[in-house]
Amino acid sequence: MTTVPLAQRQRRAAGAFLAPFLVLFVLVILAPLAYSIWLSLFSERTSGLGFGGVERVFVGLGNYASALGDPAFRSGFATIAAYIAIYVPLLISASLVLALILDSGLAWGRQVAQLALFLPHAVPGLIAALIWLYLYTPGLSPVIGWLGGAEGGGPATNHPLGSVVNVAIWQWLGYNIVIFYAALKSVPSEVLDAAVVDGAKPWQVALRIKVPLIRPAVVMAALFTAIGGIQLFTEPKILDQASASITSTWTPNMFLQSVAFDRNDYGLAAASSILIALVAGGLSFALMRIGNRGQA
């Protein structure tokens, strides 16, 4: 009877555990991505005078050129850039400050506070957007005066970017607080005790000891938040019913949805999705380089 070496058995066990993930990864990620790339190289055009039906024509990079040449698509990225520039610093800073307060020992009822702050994240994004749609709609909202007044259509029309940022922060603040609070709990107590013995004040311990030690968690949260910002769709799609300023092409994902289902141009929509993915990948790479700068 042949005995299988331990290393070989471990490799087989690892392969057995990884196989379901790899199968789903291929089916859910790689296969749709490959199909999108293939679809982006073609365009459907009517043959003859419109009586010959529709035929699929190979256009190469023509759909990519059309997407990049569309002012609505480019303006969507300008909107996303402004959104990320406001949303990411506000969310990360507020989450980090609240996590430091919870970790400082000065806050009472920390478990209750964590639960209360996390609850908005448990609300599905669509439901949260509908709630804010109600709060932003003049004539329906009981607090419209506090949110900017009803002149010109209310805050969603007068300040569409700020309205969307407000909804996103409300939903994701608690999630990031939990991430940062868990990271703070992993900071060695010996380091904190040594800082206190050396005469460091509480704010110095927080900013000069704790924050640098949880830098990887902060960078990762900022990275995921920025990538999520590029994919912005649900909040403005719901709020466009209460805002004349939010159009069907306000963000790249909204442009993609409009092109695919309103204009039935799936080749252009596929090319747009690939461009969005490339921008997200480039932003991820840049943020990782910035976050790792200065680390050993």
Spatial CB neighbours of 94, under 8 Å, sequence gap ≥ 6:
169, 173
Entry pTM? 0.82
As a whole number of angstroms, the distance between CA 250 and CA 80 comes to 9
Contact, 133 vs 238, CB < 8 A?
yes
| Chain centroid, CA 146 distance in Å | 28
How many alpha carbons lie under 13 Å from residue 56 in its C-beta half-sphere?
A: 10
Q: For the segment 238-280, what is each residue's pLDDT rounded down to a tens digit?
A: 887 777 778 888 999 999 888 988 888 888 999 999 999 899 8
Helices (H), ranges, the chain: 6-25, 31-40, 62-69, 71-104, 110-122, 125-136, 155-158, 160-185, 189-197, 202-204, 211-213, 215-230, 234-239, 252-261, 266-292
Q: Say what the pLDDT of residue 154 is.
A: 64
Q: Say what the pLDDT of residue 291 is.
A: 67
Beta bridge partners of 56: 44
| Chain centroid, CA 206 distance in Å | 27
Query: Rounded to whole angstroms, what are the CA distances from 212 to 191, 209, 227, 238?
Result: 12, 6, 23, 38
Q: What is the 3-state secondary structure (H, E, C) of 173-217?
A: HHHHHHHHHHHHHCCCHHHHHHHHHCCCCHHHHHHHHHHHHCHHH
> Which tokens in the block code for residue 158?
């007068």
Q: Say what the pLDDT of residue 79 is.
A: 92
Q: For the segment 283-294, what is each residue's pLDDT rounded down to a tens digit?
A: 888 877 776 665
| Chain centroid, CA 218 distance in Å | 15
**Residue of 260, 281, 283 lying closest to 40 (CA atoms):** 260
Beta bridge partners of 54: 46
Q: Say what the pLDDT of residue 47 is.
A: 62
* Domains delineated in the chain: 20-58 (no CATH), 71-292 (1.10.3720.10)
How many alpha carbons lie under 13 Å from residue 167 in its C-beta half-sphere?
A: 31
pLDDT by 10s per residue, the chain, length 296: 566 677 777 888 888 888 999 999 999 989 998 999 999 998 877 665 555 566 778 888 889 999 999 899 999 999 999 999 999 999 999 999 988 888 876 656 667 777 777 878 887 777 877 788 788 777 777 777 665 555 555 666 677 888 889 888 988 998 999 899 889 888 888 888 788 887 878 778 888 888 888 888 898 898 889 888 888 888 888 887 777 778 888 999 999 888 988 888 888 999 999 999 899 888 888 877 776 665 54
As a whole number of angstroms, the distance between CA 116 and CA 94 comes to 15
Q: Say what the pLDDT of residue 155 is.
A: 64
Q: For the segment 109-140, what is each residue's pLDDT rounded down to a tens digit?
A: 667 777 777 878 887 777 877 788 788 777 77
Q: Say what the pLDDT of residue 146 is.
A: 63
